[in-house]
A and B are shown apart, each in its own frame.
Chain A
Amino acid sequence: EIVLTQSPATLSLSPGERATLSCVASQSVSSSYVAWYQQKPGLAPRLLIFDASNRATGIPDRFSGSGSGTDFTLTISRLEPEDFAVYFCQYYGTSPLTFGGGTKVEIK
């Protein structure tokens, strides 16, 4: 099983700042199978990035994904008020599919 470790657990930033979220896999994985989601309280997750770096339909270009091997990153270039939420990474290359523990991006 691929274990995904996200850091930091909480990121305190101001609107307009850059957010860098990390997701580290327990072993090298194909970058074709890493996704990122945003979740707000009481709502289902929203797909942001798939295949490590491809933005999902309708996702603003301030969101970008990168990485390979064991290290993957979600970057939000300039935080908008609606971006404060919890973010999860996911690996889907093999069963079991796995999610990271999440990073909460909160307003500083």
Chain B
Amino acid sequence: EVQLVESGGGLVQPGRSLRLSCTASGFTFVNYAMSWHRQAPGKGLEWVGFIRSEAYGETTEYAASVKGRFTISRDDSKAIAYLQMNSLKTEDTAVYYCTRGGSHFTYWGQGTLVTVSS
């Protein structure tokens, strides 16, 4: 059974950093791209970015709203994808989801809430 579990969310002050983790199981992690999305309270979904698999050079793509501040990485030996978030803004407050793949998304984690507030 495919499982994705996000962790690392919490309350953080504007301008600070936070790293989210997505721990995967039930599939061969090294073979898949991994994506991150977010959903602000009461709002719609926003794609954050993805990291391709090792076979595609582990290259990354990002939404314009986070480019230069957020970095996605992966540790294939641990089956974990990371979202490093720097220079956080109040508008980054959202539930953050990880998903398997880089196109349409069958498998989602349960999400982790990030609240950026002073």
Contact = CB atoms under 8 A, between A and B. Distances in A.
Contacts of A51: 104
A45 B45 contact: yes
Given A44-B97, A95-B61, A101 B44 contact: yes
Contacts of A45: 45, 97, 105, 108
A99 B44 contact: yes
A56 interface: yes
Q: Name the prevailing secondary structure of the A interface residues.
A: loop
A39 B45 CA distance: 10
Contact of B104 (A44, A57, A92, A102): A92
Contacts of A96: 47, 61-64
Chain A interface residue number, banded:
20 to 34
Contacts of B47: 96-99
B52 to A, nearest CB: 11
Interface in B29-52: 35, 44-47, 50
10 contacts: A35-B105, A45-B97, A46-B108, A88-B44, A90-B104, A96-B62, A96-B64, A97-B35, A97-B47, A99-B45
What are the 5 A-B residue pairs with the smallest beta carbon separation, nearest first? A44-B108, A35-B104, A97-B47, A95-B61, A99-B45
